[in-house]
Amino acid sequence: MALDTVKQLVEDNPQELFLEAARLLLKFADNVINNPNDPKYRKIRLGNPMVENKLLPVSGALECLFEMGFIEDGEFLTLPQTTSLAIIKQIRMDLNKYIQSIERDNGSQESEKVASPQAPATTTTNLNPTAATSAPAATLTPTAATPISTAAIPNPLENKSLQEINQMEKRFFVKIESSLVHVLMYEDPRLQQKAKSIIPVENLKKEAHRKFEEIKKADSAASKNVDFRDLMLLELLSWFKNSFFKWVDAPKCDNCGGDTQSVGMAEPTSDEIRWQANRVENYKCHHCQRFVRFPRYNHPEKLLETRCGRCGEWANCFTLCCRAVGFEARYVLDWTDHVWTEVYSQIQQRWLHCDPCENACDKPLLYEAGWGKKLTYVLAFSKDEVQDVSWRYSAKHVEMLSRRNECRESWLVQVIHRLWKAREPRNSPERNDEMKKRLLTELVEFMTPKSSEGQNLTGRTTGSLAWRLARGEIGSQTPSNSEPFVFNLTDQERKSKLFHLRYSCARDEYIRVSKDGEVTKSFASCLNKHQNIFRKEERDWRMVYLARTEGSATAAISWKFDFSGMEIEKVEICAASQTFENGVISWRLCSKNQCALLTGGLEIKTYTELSGEDQMTLTAMMSGGKGDVAWQHTQLFRQKMDDTGFYPLDIKVYFK
């Protein structure tokens, strides 16, 4: 075994890298052999620059330490006192043999070139995207089922020297290592408890249970495709986006509340550095000329307090919140400057893309197909692993491979594999088996590039009915076997001869003022009928509204009111809506015998056409618009996300 490990170190690396790593390994071995009872020689700090630069990036080097008997111990590798020195002496002898052979053959001159700048002469570089994902064992690295022809892929490193490649790979590894250390903060029990105390867990559970019951009515097989935990995730996303965290482009002046403009960077204070704000942006107020600091905090505990930032802060804090409520979560870093989260769905047996900035779940092509991003590397990090998940987020694998020019694909495979192996000893055998099964499932997913055709990036047409219903992505249609909602009067409303209902799109909730201010969440919960409708949030513009689902030519939505035993005197309504281009929205307020046409403006208007009737239905029909975004040219209840005091739907019914 010792010879095999050393042989891997020799064959997988250029001679220069092998010699550097081997000499450092000899030093560690000699320290232990010569000082077997001194504990300081039995600990190796992973953050040591020599280890970081000369061992960790070298294929097989870490394996040699593990073969010697070192085990991972937080930020250290530790050699237990009970470990036999025999294997260490064997590895030392094998290393010496190879070093002497190379120095003898080359006249003690280390070779600085290899047959190809892409990989060592003895190693074939595999550009298969599945091979660029780590595997827990050699038998789990599928390379035969590649979805693309690697011969057609240009080598993005062909014009780089070996020295340049090595330097780039060192920088790449530092980025990986930094993220692996960072995600360990999410496992701090004290920090998880602090986050959990802030999250309205019981309210989210209650809403998730309510929606789960609705979905089971719509899809009898729902429990096979989606469960309460999946719906809880959607509720957590919605709460985080709409109620907890705020987006900041430029901070408001903390003196006068005015707008500010960037004037460069500022030096971080000791307290800011303590909370990992190594970058502090500096702004100046247009009105009072005061300077405003915007520390880019990277510690999730501080973000629980500040509750604001850009995508980095959002994903950082949201991943902690996911771990706090018991989800298995990965922090996902996109090399083209975006960050998000992945959460594992037990019932669906796969990782779900979750972007808290967008309140988006399971829409992995959002960035490439929706935003037009040219992706390169997308890596997911957790306490258990680092994975190259780039292939989940791209439908254009060949194009993406041609842009991946920061490291050799073979090097990335080896590094990820090595880091996986380093974490295996800390897990139970059952956990390791589970991780391997998940990896195989993930690799199968990666082998076939996704298609964005027909995949609604604000709503999907794929996936189980239950999962699509859960995310409101088939227009939140009222299923044929569910009960349409009808408003009925309470005794209190009959006595006061007044029915008063409001809806806030910003909060996505109804307020029944005439029923002691009763609150009902979700626009869909009180609808009699609706088709091809979803609630759209515009992060950039900080606006929210109800819109047609993408690709739908028409949409309809209606509310029904049964006032049996009472007669309508008049109705006062504000039903705000906006159209763009040639979009059309028609509002109608109808009883059995009469109808009134509404204007859809911001003002409250009075209608007497239904006087004497005992029921009514309010309906909006949406159509028209131009081009690919025609669905966005008809909008109901558009308002600012933070405008929680305005109700774009306000209905008052007075009775005789």
Q: How far apart are CA 438 and CA 249, in angstroms?
A: 38
Classify domain 172-245+312-447 at the CATH topology level: C8orf32 fold (3.10.620)
pLDDT for 451 equals: 64
Work out the average pLDDT over 151-180: 84
* pLDDT, average across residues 602-623: 93
Instruction: Give the list of residues 6+ apart from residue 97 with CB closer than 8 angstroms, or none.
Output: none
| Among 379, 367, 381, residue whose Cα is nearest residue 407 | 379
Give CA–CA dist 441/126, Å, rounded: 21
Quick one: pLDDT at residue 56? 74
Maximum Cα–Cα distance across the chain: 108
What residues have CB less than 8 Å from 33, skipping those under 6 apart?
A: 85, 88, 89, 92
How far lies 388's CA from each of 60, 88, 202, 567, 600, in Å? Answer: 20, 33, 35, 65, 50
pLDDT digits (tens, 9 = 90+) for 447-493: 877 765 444 454 333 345 555 555 554 433 443 334 689 999 999 99
Amino acid present at 531: Q
Q: Structure tokens of 125?
A: 């570089």
Say if residues 221 and 489 touch (Cβ distance below 8 Å).
no
CA-CA distance, 337 to 343, in Å (whole number)?
20
Which two structure tokens, joined as six digits, stand for 252?
Answer: 């408001």
**Choosing from 64, 285, 311, 574, which is the catalytic residue?**
311
Region 169-175: mean pLDDT is 90
C-alpha–C-alpha distance, residues 621 and 531, integer Å: 10
Of 16-30, 56-70, 325-339, the least confident: 56-70
Cα-trace Rg, the chain: 30
Among the options 182, 230, 338, 354, which is catalytic? 338
What confidence category does residue 500 fall into, taking pLDDT thresholds of 50, 70 and 90?
very high
pLDDT given at position 295: 96
Are domains 249-309 and 475-655 of this chain identical in fold? Answer: no
CA nearest to 638, candidates 511, 505, 501:
505
Alpha helices, DSSP H, located in 199-354: 201-218, 222-225, 228-239, 270-274, 300-306, 311-324
Strands across the sheet containing 280-285: 260-266, 280-285, 291-295
Summary mean pLDDT of the chain? 84
pLDDT at residue 515 is higher than 90: yes
Give me the CATH topology for the region 249-309: N-terminal domain of TfIIb (2.20.25)
Pairwise CA distance, residues 387 & 397, whole Å: 17
Secondary element (H or E) of residue 164: helix 162-182
pLDDT tens digits, 33-69:
999 999 889 988 876 778 877 787 777 787 788 888 8
Q: What is the CATH number of domain 475-655?
A: 2.60.120.1020
pLDDT at 568: 96
The per-residue pLDDT for 222 is 65
Q: What is the 3-class SS of 441-477, one letter each residue? A: HHHHHHHCCCCCCCCCCCCCCCCCHHHHHHCCCCCCC
Average pLDDT of 510-539? 90
Give the pLDDT confidence score for residue 452 in this predicted structure: 56
Higher pLDDT: 518 or 551? It is: 518
CB-hemisphere CA count at 13 Å for 590?
A: 9
- Of the listed ranges 242-251, 340-349, 399-408, the one predicted with least confidence: 242-251
Q: Where are the domains of the chain?
A: 1-111, 172-245+312-447, 249-309, 475-655
Which position has the token pair 């739907």? 649
How high is the pLDDT of residue 225?
Answer: 77
Q: Band of the pLDDT at 435, cuts 50, 70, 90?
A: very high
- Give pLDDT, residue 105: 78
User: Looking at residue 283, what is its pLDDT?
Assistant: 96
Token pair for 407: 């490291």
pLDDT band at 2 (very low <50, low <70, confident <90, very high): low
CB 651 within 8 A of CB 560: no
- pLDDT class for 138, splitting at 50, 70, 90? very low
CATH of 1-111, one of 3.40.50.1820, 3.30.365.10, 1.20.58.2190, 1.20.1090.10: 1.20.58.2190
Q: What is the per-residue pLDDT across 178-237, written as a single tens digit (0 to 9) for each?
A: 899 899 999 999 999 999 999 999 999 998 998 888 777 776 666 677 889 999 999 999
β pairing state of 338-345 and 386-388: unpaired
Contact 298, 182 (CB under 8 A): yes
**Looking at residue 102, what is its pLDDT?**
85
Does the pLDDT at position 616 exceed 90?
yes
Percentage of the chain beyond pLDDT 70 is 85
pTM: 0.59
**Residue 55: predicted pLDDT:** 80
Cβ proximity of 132 and 400 under 8 Å: no
pLDDT at 268 over 80: yes
From first CA to last CA, the distance across the chain in angstroms is: 92
Residue positions counted in the chain: 656
Token reading at 320 = 């902690």
Task: Please identify which of the residues 230, 355, 362, 388 carries the catalytic annotation.
Answer: 355
Tokens for 399, please give them.
């194009």
Q: What is the tens place of the pLDDT at every residue in 358-368? A: 888 999 998 98
- Average pLDDT for residues 82-101, to the nearest whole number? 88
CB crowding 178-201: b at 16 or more within 10 Å, else e: ebbebbebbeeeebbebbeeebeb
The CA-atom distances, in angstroms, between 587 and each of 120, 460, 512, 600 are 70, 27, 21, 7
CB 134 within 8 A of CB 391: no
Q: Across the strands, what pairs with 529?
A: 558
Question: Cβ neighbours of residue 610 under 8 Å, at least 6 residues apart?
Answer: 568, 571, 589, 590, 591, 594, 596, 616
Q: Span 290-312, mean pLDDT?
A: 95
User: Is residue 573 helix, strand or coil?
Assistant: strand
Candidates 107, 97, 361; CA nearest to 234 is: 361
Strands 76-78 and 71-73, by their bridges, are antiparallel
Please check the confidence at residue 301 and state whether its pLDDT lies above 60.
Answer: yes
**Is 633 in the active site?**
no
Compute the average pLDDT of residues 397-409.
93
Cβ contacts of 543 within 8 Å, gap of 6 or more? 537, 638, 639, 640, 641
Please say if the pLDDT value at position 559 is more than 80: yes
Question: Is residue 642 among the annotated active site residues?
Answer: no
Q: State the DSSP code for 198.
A: H
Verify whether residue 355 is a known catalytic residue: yes
Q: What angle do CA 365, 368, 372 make, to 5 degrees?
A: 140
